[in-house]
Amino acid sequence: MLRHDTRTSRALRELVILRGGQLMRSEYEWAQHLPMARKAGVREAQINALAHWQTSGEFNEREKAALALAEAVTLGHVGDEVYQQAMRHFDHHDYVELAAVAAFYAMVGRMLDAMGVPLDADVANYQPKLK
């Protein structure tokens, strides 16, 4: 459901997943989702600027609202300002969808870390390295 039967764009969801992976320092999640993000249309410039998305010109206001939500969910608290910013760009359905993606992949990243899952061979030499 979170990757296929959705209304928000795959590229936007991949940005949310990649940012969560960065925040959690989940190398597995980052490496696995880089090819998916590229395939979905996330630009290299966006991938390279993701750690500094707030001040980057590579992201539009809708993407920044999704990334703010991704950070807040991953870190465990969505405040009023983040919620209000998101609701200027998304309806309730899309807000819930993006929050669910961020929460699910936060759990995945933490579980992968807890289990010590190694990188798959096909992504072992991923670029750019996790920042």
- Between CA 30 and CA 127 the distance in angstroms is 10
Per-residue pLDDT tens digits for 45-94: 999 999 999 999 999 999 999 999 999 999 999 999 999 999 999 999 99
List the domain boundaries for the chain: 10-123
Q: What value, to the nearest 5°, has the Cα angle with vertex 37 and ends 125 and 109? A: 70
Q: Is the pTM of this model over 0.75?
A: yes
Which residues have C-beta within 8 Å of that of residue 40, sequence separation ≥ 6? 9, 10, 11, 13, 14
3-state secondary structure 30-48: HHHHHHHHHHHCCCHHHHH
Supply the CATH classification number for the domain 10-123.
1.20.1290.10
